[in-house]
A and B are shown apart, each in its own frame.
Chain A
């Protein structure tokens, strides 16, 4: 007789989230490590939901810039936190989509009945980035470890050249093209004719919305102060269109007068960590925990960017229509859009692509334009341009922020149905991960 499988598919919900404020690179968290920050984010979550000594089904998190000694970063963070040491954990690394991917894969496990609770998260530091030794030194040391005789050892050592002693810091260039992410986006920004004004306007809205969310106390139960920071260090509530317009282009300078990407409309390098508590409905109810939203669905996509067929950060443009077709939804069915602001141009190029009839017909295989995103529903509590973007921590920030927003709107009752939210995160390597959440 075949094995009887336990549970059919059930719902996975967001109970809540916690993050530490995001710091600018070489700012408030200069001396703290990925492990420090991820542990701090977990401990804040434990405190908020009374999870001390709780054995969570599984914890998944990751860091994009990760030292090889942190091979079990997430498990180590669990061991350093107040969670039960019997909580298993694993690391995920999918560039900037790491955080959202942990949310989706853990919620799938909950849906399948394999676990009842989970914590998804991510962390990154550019201040405390791993530095590696040069290829020459690495090879010589490996050869040395294989050497058996003194002669072989000396030969291995003799291969080391003075230049091999220079350490190597991680770069931001795509391995296959040598172009930085900003240079890639500059090409996409130009291709889609996104203006400097439109990018600056989006960046201003991000700062305005994030500042307003802090003002009304929206982040009070989403954030734990850390190392003296109570708000994201990059937030400039008082920045003006004039100040934004005065910044000089930093990417795509070879485009001359068409160069439009500045330090204001591109995300800065940032340090930070985030965590999201996911559960089955029963697990949350048994502990009298809130339920903010349901993780409905997710989709990953990748584009062939290497020879410029598509822009490096355009994968979500392909992922969203595929996911919505499966759900029988259109862009008009959503109340909130969380489109990660890697660069203002990334968001605007995605919106432009979805409105472009030819592109949608030829590349997305649709009958016409995919649709329009109502700008009043876009990143209503600010996004990465204002908050910063510690790569792997962004997915957790977005998932928790959107879940709370959906919950508030659903409770307001004005829609006559649960509020719906769409998340889109682009990632290095031409990838993107997107998700649909529904409020409770």
Chain B
């Protein structure tokens, strides 16, 4: 199989992608039943992207990151997201884009990116796999600076209820294994999230998915209320790990129960040090104290 690289002239518009996705969703139901069961081999690439300083500052303020000239790892995710989305919005992408659930996000931040660095973004999809609730896929985005790759993010998404022919459902020992019961630790922080937080994060990240914007837009897509962006919660946890993490690290988060807005999220961040007392990793978890349900769990660890 030959790999194709699609050169995009500029960062795709996410709002257009969402509109296309809505139309695609309807069309896919009809036409793609027996068609694509393979991921496109294409890599989408945009050259010379520069972070926008005003939006970066607004992002840093919203997430509680110090407004340094180094770009936070979560902002780079937001920067690469339209390229990743354009892969998922391709006609030959086998899963419907709308309604995809973000399961997990893993980022390696290798070298600090300054806000005025010229960046090069490439995204592709891989590892189409069965999940007990549908089909999951990994979308990889890579950001390179002048000296090579600096950031790499792998986002796992689940297309709920989409079972593709030729991809077996996982067996009893597979991904369908029961989750262990969650026992909340003592909180180290409490987040009071208003309904506005979805719109505010959309404003700084560019991710205007309607499920995050308002009660009405979320209802239109079948949710009872709007939900916080998973990446907002993950990026805020990353910010709250603090300066000890340095400029290069691995940041991993799994998303569980959605955060319906407004919300009070209890958060625990636990630091671990190595034998010399130097920071090694911080594990974080967020949950709803009333329901005892976990929203997200993850870690930030020293890049080995």
Contacts and interface: CB of A to CB of B under 8 A. Distances in A.
Query: Real complex partners, A and B?
Result: yes
Interface string A274-316: 0000000000000000000000000000000011110000000
B271 interface: yes
Given A176-B240, A254-B289, A309 B190 contact: no
Contacts of B191: 178
Interface in B258-274: 266, 268-271
B268 to A, nearest CB: 8
Contacts of A309: 271
Interface string A378-415: 00000000000000000000000000000000000000
A177 interface: yes
A124 interface: no
Contacts of A163: 196
A333 B156 CA distance: 63
Contacts of A52: none
Interface of A: 163, 173, 176-179, 183, 187, 190, 254, 306-309
A307 B190 contact: no
B165 interface: no
Contacts of A173: 190
A178 B186 contact: no
A254 B192 CA distance: 16
B86 interface: no
Interface string B130-157: 0000000000000000000000000000
A308 B192 contact: no
What 5 pairs between A and B have smallest CB-CB spacing? A177-B189, A178-B190, A308-B188, A307-B269, A179-B190
Interface of B: 64, 186-192, 196, 240, 242, 266, 268-271, 282, 289
Contacts of B64: 176
B190 A183 contact: yes
Most buried by A among B187, B191, B242: B187
A163 B196 CA distance: 11
Contacts of B190: 173, 177-179, 183
A306 B188 contact: yes
Given A307-B270, A307-B282, A309-B271, A187 B242 contact: no
Contacts of A254: 187, 266, 289
30 contacts: A163-B196, A176-B64, A176-B189, A176-B240, A177-B188, A177-B190, A178-B190, A178-B191, A178-B192, A179-B187, A179-B188, A187-B186, A187-B187, A254-B187, A254-B289, A306-B188, A306-B240, A306-B242, A306-B269, A307-B188, A307-B242, A307-B269, A307-B270, A307-B271, A307-B282, A308-B186, A308-B268, A308-B269, A308-B270, A309-B271
Contacts of B289: 254
B282 to A, nearest CB: 7
Given A178-B191, A187-B187, 4 more contacts: A173-B190, A307-B282, A308-B186, A309-B271
